[in-house]
Chains A and B, each alone.
Chain A
Amino acid sequence: MKFSPWDRLTWTVRWRFSPQEADEILDDYRELLSGRPPEDVRQVAADFGRPTEYGLWLARFWGMAGCLALPLLWNTMWFAYHQVLSLVLAAAGAALALSLGKKEEERQLGRGLWALLVVQAALLGAVFGLFAFFCFHMDTLLPLGNVGPLLHALLQLISLLAGLLGLAGLVLTRVEDRRWRAVYVLGLTVLAVTSILLAVMGSMDVSAPVTIEGLWRYCMVRMVPTALVGLGATGAALC
């Protein structure tokens, strides 16, 4: 599929500016570049990609994408759990997201944003719910067998969904409204909380708690503060 220089200019402008500004700029250039050779259109598209400010934004964008993608990869692979690194990356990603850009003209928050936030919050709740269910119904579940692999597979699925929604939130932060970063921050939170549980499940540490009560306390002491900090950061990301 071949894209015209005008398509490239449209993408570049939509990527760099808010929807309203992008519409205005494209409208202006439609007139200014009408009847001009494709090289001129190509040149304008290239010019929009050059400024240092944009380069810095792009570097931050890839940094944020990395902070989400690495825990996502670790959580969805069998034996690669980096609990501490996941928490550090979640904190770094959230800090980058909260430092994003200047305030745009306030618009009402879209339904899509709320819907994705609700889904992310449900995924976070599901991690706690699953853990509680497996802890307190272990006696009834054990005879069924495969409890561990089932919990592990469900946590991997939750990680995958939260990570993909977080990446969507990150892209929409750029092309729609910076408040979409809240979806990204909540995605980081879900991944961080899940990584704590996955790390305990995959741990070969003999000093790890062996009773259900011990395991519950060990995980909750880590998961609850992480979730609370993440929810606080999500709230801040909506401001």
Chain B
Amino acid sequence: MLKKDILELCLLHLLSQGDQYGYEMLTRLHDIFPDTRESVIYAALRGLCKEGLTEKYEGQVSAGPARKYYRITEAGQARYAALLEQWRAMRQAVEALGVV
């Protein structure tokens, strides 16, 4: 599992909990992975959109300009499940070595 996959897993996980504002996701993931540049996280988010795993829409915030929100698609849910399985298998394998 590559770092890119872990980023995708995190993005899809956030979106599986509800629609998210792009900036919010970027800053949240950047806080968790401070060594990863925001542009890399944005590229992962954009990649998910291009693959049809997420979709973008304009949402209105009270007394504010329209913002772009992201939501997960059905294909995205399937990818999320697959990535989650990979992640769990990898974690188990690493734990089996005694790494905690």
The answer to whether the Cβ of A56 comes within 8 Å of any Cβ in the partner chain is: no
Q: How far is the CA of A48 from the CA of B40 in the complex (A)?
A: 9
The answer to whether the Cβ of B28 comes within 8 Å of any Cβ in the partner chain is: no
- Contact status B42-A28, CB under 8 Å: yes
Within 8 A of A (CB), among B1-43: 22-23, 26, 37-40, 42
- Chain B residues near A32 (CB-CB < 8 A): 22-23, 26, 38, 42
- Contact status A28-B22, CB under 8 Å: yes
Within 8 A of A (CB), among B35-76: 37-40, 42, 46, 67-68
Q: Give the total number of A-B pairs whose CB atoms are below 8 A apart.
A: 25
Within 8 A of B (CB), among A12-64: 25, 28-29, 31-32, 40, 43-44, 47-48
Picked from B22, B38, B40, the residue with its CB within 8 Å of the CB of A31 is B22
Binary flags per residue of B71-97, CB closer than 8 Å to A gives 1, else 0: 000000000000000000000000000
Interface size on A (CB < 8 Å)? 10
Q: How far is the CA of A40 from the CA of B37 in the complex (A)?
A: 11
Find the A residue at minimum CB distance from B49. Answer: A24
Secondary structure at the B interface, as helix, strand, loop or mixed, is helix
Secondary structure at the A interface, as helix, strand, loop or mixed, is helix
- Contact status B38-A44, CB under 8 Å: yes
* In the complex with contacts A25-B46, A31-B67, A31-B68, A47-B23 CB distance below 8 A: no
- Contact status A28-B68, CB under 8 Å: yes
Picked from B40, B67, B68, the residue with its CB within 8 Å of the CB of A47 is B40
- Chain B residues near A43 (CB-CB < 8 A): 37-39
Q: How far does the Cβ of B68 sit from chain A's closest Cβ, in whole Å? A: 6
Q: How far does the Cβ of A41 sit from chain B's closest Cβ, in whole Å? A: 11
- Chain B residues near A31 (CB-CB < 8 A): 22-23, 67-68
Within 8 A of B (CB), among A181-224: none
Q: How far is the CA of A47 from the CA of B22 in the complex (A)?
A: 19
Find the A residue at minimum CB distance from B39. Answer: A47
Q: How far is the CA of A44 from the CA of B37 in the complex (A)?
A: 9
Q: How far does the Cβ of B69 sit from chain A's closest Cβ, in whole Å? A: 11
Q: How far is the CA of A28 from the CA of B22 in the complex (A)?
A: 9
* 20 A-B interface contacts by CB (under 8 A): A25-B46, A28-B22, A28-B42, A31-B22, A31-B23, A31-B68, A32-B22, A32-B23, A32-B26, A32-B38, A32-B42, A40-B38, A43-B37, A43-B38, A43-B39, A44-B38, A44-B39, A47-B37, A47-B39, A48-B39
7 nearest interchain CB pairs?
A47-B39, A32-B23, A44-B39, A47-B37, A31-B68, A32-B22, A32-B26
6 A-B pairs besides A32-B42, A44-B39 with CB distance below 8 A are A25-B46, A31-B22, A31-B67, A32-B23, A32-B26, A47-B40
Which residues of B are at the interface with A, using a C-beta cutoff of 8 A?
22-23, 26, 37-40, 42, 46, 67-68
